[in-house]
Amino acid sequence: MTNRRCILRGAAVAAAGSLTGCMGQLEELVGSATSGDRTLGDVASYEGVEVIPDKYVLADSAERVYANNQNNISSAEGATYIFTHLEVSHNGDSAQKFPSSRTPDTIDLVYDGERVSESMRNDATQSYIVGGKRLTTYGHAKQEAGAVGEVYPGKTVDGWVFHEIASNFDPPKLELRIVWNQQMVGDEGETTHKWTYTSDAEVSIENVEGDGTEISI
């Protein structure tokens, strides 16, 4: 009888351990699908591609630079421009795509659950000049680095994404989101990485000289 109890007890322990292992794997999979615990400065990785949005600059006006011309722009009354610095590196072992402002891997700015206007981010802007400093757009940096399509390990792109938001925004309500493998219908197969903004991540334009102007390959 004693031996039988021991055998049953051992089987129960083994089953519990196996179940715990399965639950742990399930939690890991669920956690990787949507992660909202990051703040600016934290790294996220997807299939070997690492992303770090590390700081942002606010400005009421800027010069918008295209290939053949440029023009001055000013934010609407009660609004401000926000430039977020983004560095993307491929440290994996196979060809991958870097995120973009378009599907299937989309970069979005979301405030209090609502997507921030995207009317000025899918154009041919190469850079913005703010306070005399040139901020190369992330999209143009990708083009210059030859990273629009599939890229191989060792490539890094560094640039800025641009949006206009209410000037009295509350940083903890603002999120940068990257949706990997975005689907046209439903979200099965998608992975979403989120970064919350903080007041500490805001920097003065005087302190970002060189950022967004260099591309290392």
pTM of the shown model: 0.79
Token pair 């999209």 is found at 139
Mean pLDDT of 65-81: 94
Q: Do 85 and 56 meet the contact criterion of CB atoms below 8 Å apart?
A: yes
Token output for 125:
């802007």
Backbone torsion region of residue 64, taken as left when φ is above 0, otherwise alpha when ψ lies between -120 and 50, otherwise beta: beta
pLDDT tens track for 122-160: 568 999 999 999 999 999 999 999 998 899 999 999 999
| Pairing state between β 34-39 and 191-196 | parallel
Alpha carbon 91 to chain centroid distance? 16
Asked if the model's pLDDT at residue 178 lies above 90, the reply is yes
pLDDT of residue 121: 53
pLDDT of residue 4: 41
Alpha-carbon distance values, 116 to 4, 65, 81, 98 (Å): 65, 22, 12, 21
Q: Kindly report the backbone phi and psi dihedral angles of residue 99, in degrees, each rounded to the nearest multiple of 5, phi listed first.
A: -65, 155
pLDDT tens track for 82-111: 999 999 999 988 999 999 866 555 898 999
Q: How confident is the model at residue 7 (pLDDT cuts 50, 70, 90)?
A: very low
